[in-house]
Amino acid sequence: MTSIIESFQKMNMIGRIGAFVGIVASVSGIILWVIPNIFNEAIPITFVGLGLPAILGFIASLYGTSWLMYVVFIGSLPLSLYVAMTPSIFRFFLLVSLGYLASAILLTMDKRNQNKG
């Protein structure tokens, strides 16, 4: 398995931007997931639907794996769409999911550029 430093060295500018977007989206998702769990009991479905994808998205961004970012996006999208319809701060989960998608697309573009050159 490659190290984090090696994966960043292999990336071009598009891949590094994609990794940065994924890291920002993941950290935002973790922060947004922690907020309701501080004031209420931890609900397991929110961890599976929002917390776990944020953690996996952070790891995928560090290693630059686009397929895992797509999995994170698909896994977090249903619950993100649900909480986006609530009149609270949690509607920002939709932006987090879109950040996962943008990161996955940019990382895929980076992989394709590496394979061409």
User: What are the residue boundaries of the structural domains of the chain, listed by start?
Assistant: 12-116
pTM score, whole prediction:
0.88
Q: What is the pLDDT along the chain (117 residues), one digit of tens a residue?
A: 567 777 777 788 888 899 999 999 999 999 988 887 777 765 777 788 888 999 999 999 998 899 999 999 999 998 889 888 888 778 888 999 999 999 999 999 998 888 886
The 10 Å CB-count burial string (b at 16+, else e) for 57-90 is bbebbbbbbbebbbbbbebbbebbeebbeeeeeb
